[in-house]
Structure 1
Amino acid sequence: MMNLAERHQLILSRLQRDQYINVVDLCKELKVSSVTIRKDLKLLEDKSLLFRTHGGATMNNPYTVDRPVNEKEKIQSSEKNKIGAAAAELLNDNDSIVIASGTTVLYFAKNIQPAINLTVVTSALNVALELMRESTIEVIQLGGLLRKSSSSVMGSYAEQVLQDFYFNKLFLGVDGIDLDFGLTTTNAMEAQLNRKMINAAQKTIVLADSTKFGKRGFGKICGLEEIDHIITDKGISEQIVKHLEGLGVTVTIV
């Protein structure tokens, strides 16, 4: 059986390789109890070597902070554009879709081909402005309380309007994807609106660059089992892909 130092070395090497580790998997590999592993993780966190999460640990700070949309748009811009282009390929003529807020879904809107006929409902002002110039795309802008940091609306009025629609697809941006906690955003009211969008859509497609994995925002949107498809970039770890596919989630890597 490994001693304390050997266990810690193995835990850190697994984190370097996979970005995230699960308590249950470590218990099986090291043949020790979950109590022992959780103590190990706490000791390593106290030394600022990792961050504990629900059911595991990560090397990246899992707690996201709200940033202005114009600042977020510049982060991972190349990856977001590729993700948006891949998402646009999923559209069919005469689809009725709902687009949530976020910078990655804005890149999706920029990649939608003008020849396609669509009905789009969106909470995002920048998405509506991007699409309104296309004659083949009918845009319905949700109303409600304006969240300036994301250039989008939220609140009960927007939620009520969604009750009158049913969509082929939802294209959803998120602030965090945690393998245990699920999808999150930094605002609880926005998370509530996103849940209503999921309920109104036949299929939920999440657009998220790889930096969003292992992160957790304040407001929970839903569990991973409630989504159908994630489009991300090649920075995602193989372990996370296997976990998602095990839940029945289609993963597209650009």
Structure 2
Amino acid sequence: MSKKEDRRNKIISIIKENNGASVKELATKLDVSDMTIRRDIRILEEQNIVETFHGAIVYNSKIDNPINEDKYSLDSHLLIKDREKFLIGQKAASMIKEDDIIIIDTGTTTEKLSQAMDDIKCTALVFSSNNLINLLFKKNIDLIIGGGNLHRDSGMMESNQSIEMMKNIRASKLFLSAAGVHKDLGITCENSYELNSKKIIIRNSLEVILLADSSKFGAVKSTHFADLSEIDTIISDKNLSDEWQDYLKEMDIKLILV
């Protein structure tokens, strides 16, 4: 293997492990110039291995990971709309301020949020394994952990004791996830065991921020947990239809497109 090939393989490994990286970060880690990294990235983009969005280089995981839509699993859904979820997570993370008390819902888009968060002084309630792992070593973030049985399909930790604990938590911001957003049938999720926790955290939060890529709009899943009227802000991607954008404006829901 040539030196160039070895370096490009290292670039792929770094961006996969870190869910993206900047040119400067890659150059520092590999001890080469920014120009060298840019040349490598251009080659990898031509091979459809990586993509660049807003200065971040991310791995195009869809190329070698076909998705089976028949059954929900956290691992498979991490790969769907990965670019859009990455940008949504970055934007959501930028909205967290010092001393905020936040709740991060379970889900693959909210995972991008916890990955993107700075080690900012705040308090965060999490109840999914992926978000816990992402925040565990960020020392300025005080963690409140909802525990119990682990649902491997979603990464959610759930129990009656956790539900009782959530009832007493109050948050300045809730970052909510959903599997479906429908004008008539409301906001839905895949799993009935998510219902109680979602209802509680919505009720106990000052600002409810829904993180949902454009593919979720118009979709309906089995378990209804909220109506659109309960949402303050939605962060989605720029592929959201004009019809949906107009509808959310009529409902006086703040819409942020990334």
TM-score, structure 1 as length reference: 0.72
What is the rounded CA distance, in whole Å, between the counterparts of 2:101 and 2:70 in structure 1?
A: 32
Identity %: 28
CA deviation after TM superposition for structure 1 residue 192, in Å: 2.2
**Which residue is 2:93 aligned to?**
88
Q: Is the 8 A contact 1:210 1:233 kept in 2?
A: yes
**Match of 1:102, as an amino acid?**
G
1:39-50 pair list within 5 angstroms: none
**Which residue is 1:154 aligned to?**
158
More displaced stretch, 180-189 vs 78-87: 180-189
**Which residue is 1:18 aligned to?**
none
What is the rounded CA distance, in whole Å, between the counterparts of 2:71 and 2:175 in structure 1?
A: 20
Q: Is the 8 A contact 1:166 1:200 kept in 2?
A: yes
Question: Which residue among 73, 88, 107 is the counterpart of 2:112?
Answer: 107
Q: Is the 8 A contact 1:65 1:186 kept in 2?
A: no
What is the rounded CA distance, in whole Å, between the counterparts of 2:238 and 2:159 in structure 1?
A: 35
**Match of 1:101, as an amino acid?**
T
**Match of 1:212, as an amino acid?**
K
CA deviation after TM superposition for structure 1 residue 187, in Å: 1.0
Question: Which residue among 251, 254, 257 is the counterpart of 1:247?
Answer: 251
Question: Which residue among 158, 177, 180 is the counterpart of 2:181?
Answer: 177
Secondary structure at the aligned position of 1:230 is classed as strand
1:75 is aligned to 2:89? no
CA deviation after TM superposition for structure 1 residue 245, in Å: 1.6
Root mean square deviation, CA, Å: 1.3
Secondary structure at the aligned position of 1:183 is classed as strand
**Which residue is 1:207 aligned to?**
211
CA deviation after TM superposition for structure 1 residue 180, in Å: 1.1
**Which residue is 1:24 aligned to?**
none
**Which residue is 2:232 aligned to?**
228
**Match of 2:257, as an amino acid?**
I
**Match of 2:79, as an amino acid?**
K
Secondary structure at the aligned position of 2:97 is classed as coil
Q: Is the 8 A contact 2:72 2:190 kept in 1?
A: no
**Match of 1:81, as an amino acid?**
F
**Which residue is 1:20 aligned to?**
none
CA deviation after TM superposition for structure 1 residue 65, in Å: 5.9
**Which residue is 1:192 aligned to?**
196
Question: Which residue among 238, 242, 248 is the counterpart of 2:242?
Answer: 238
Q: Is the 8 A contact 2:88 2:235 kept in 1?
A: yes
1:217 is aligned to 2:217? no
More displaced stretch, 144-153 vs 163-172: 144-153
**Match of 2:206, as an amino acid?**
Q
1:134 is aligned to 2:141? no
Q: Is the 8 A contact 1:155 1:193 kept in 2?
A: no
1:125 is aligned to 2:155? no
Q: Is the 8 A contact 1:66 1:186 kept in 2?
A: no
**Match of 2:98, as an amino acid?**
D
**Runs of at least 5 residues in structure 1 that lack an aligned partner in the other structure:** 1-63
What's the CA shift string for 1:194-225, capped at 9, x where partnerless? 01110111111010110011111111110000
**Which residue is 1:5 aligned to?**
none
What is the rounded CA distance, in whole Å, between the counterparts of 1:150 and 1:94 in structure 2?
A: 29
Q: How many residues align?
A: 190
CA deviation after TM superposition for structure 1 residue 248, in Å: 1.5
Secondary structure at the aligned position of 2:125 is classed as strand
Secondary structure at the aligned position of 1:70 is classed as helix
CA deviation after TM superposition for structure 1 residue 157, in Å: 2.3
TM-score, structure 2 as length reference: 0.71
**Match of 1:85, as an amino acid?**
Q
